[in-house]
Chains A and B, each alone.
Chain A
């Protein structure tokens, strides 16, 4: 990964590194701060702490990491019981933070653009694991500096304890909110060139009955092509509804869908939203139900 080589390369001077890292940040976002590599591959042989203590041999990351202390030197701050009180005790700055449970076992090391906000999120999602937190604010928190700070704490902890914080293990999703994966739009047919063995009506019927919530929209759910479809997608996503979407404008995989669906549902326009196999309505009806609070009970299981 590009970031690793850039961050750890000892040949750059500080200024050129800054320049380089800010420019390269566009190319580097594939490095997830949270996804922890396997221990055998984890860290290069450069000892970060040693270089920190050795100012006569300035290395690129020396200045970057000097803004925060070592993990062991950093004071534990107790997490208040209520999420609302977190912002009073933790800085809303960028930096690295380490979360401890009530046995003072390190659970997770993360980085954040707003430490107080991140701690609040953790406290809400896993209160039993958030007893105290160590915070290292990083000055000039560009991506490289934050990554470096995270690495130095991780390395320190692994060196001392011989293990990775459980929350940073590969595959652990306790601490990291998974990026909301947009479902792909459903396709009704295998393609325009493939002769259908069943009528399109039957495919529609099967689809709306097998899926709790189905939205027939113009365009894809990630890029709706009409304002009404956009509003429908917005409402469904906003309500956190698990729904399927079908692009009625897709002439390759949903050829003929518009005309067939209009007849099937006896409804002249799109979008169309089906719940439990029944047409609920279009954008106006969905909006009106949403505003009256009638939508959530209908679409939730």
Chain B
């Protein structure tokens, strides 16, 4: 059973229109545990709880099979840009 990384990705892509998405299968193969980083305009003006709700909602079907979903990051494109810049300057230096 379980859900594949691809299923999670395609659901999130179609429903959240993310500008950045990273899905990591942390289950060790059984497909019951994922970690997600997602950047989407839909998060604009929403609290963290509401952002997580959006992601959970987008994965409603998959959640039936998923035991643990860890949303590492749920950012707006603006926040994502801010987070990326210091990292870039670090690597440049």
Contact = CB atoms under 8 A, between A and B. Distances in A.
Interface of A: 228, 266-269, 279-285, 288-289
Contacts of B56: 267-269
A267 B59 CA distance: 12
A284 B49 contact: no
26 contacts: A228-B68, A266-B53, A267-B53, A267-B56, A268-B56, A268-B60, A268-B63, A268-B69, A269-B56, A269-B63, A269-B69, A279-B49, A280-B49, A281-B48, A281-B49, A281-B52, A282-B52, A283-B70, A284-B52, A284-B70, A284-B71, A284-B72, A285-B48, A285-B52, A288-B48, A289-B48
Interface SS majority for chain B: helix
Interface of B: 48-49, 52-53, 56, 60, 63, 68-72
Contacts of B48: 281, 285, 288-289
Given A267-B56, A268-B56, A268-B63, A285 B70 contact: no
Interface SS majority for chain A: mixed
Contacts of A289: 48
A228 B68 CA distance: 9
Nearest to B51: A285
Contacts of B71: 284
A282 B6 CA distance: 25
Contacts of B53: 266-267
A284 B68 CA distance: 11
Contacts of A228: 68
B28 to A, nearest CB: 14
A269 B49 contact: no
A280 B52 CA distance: 11
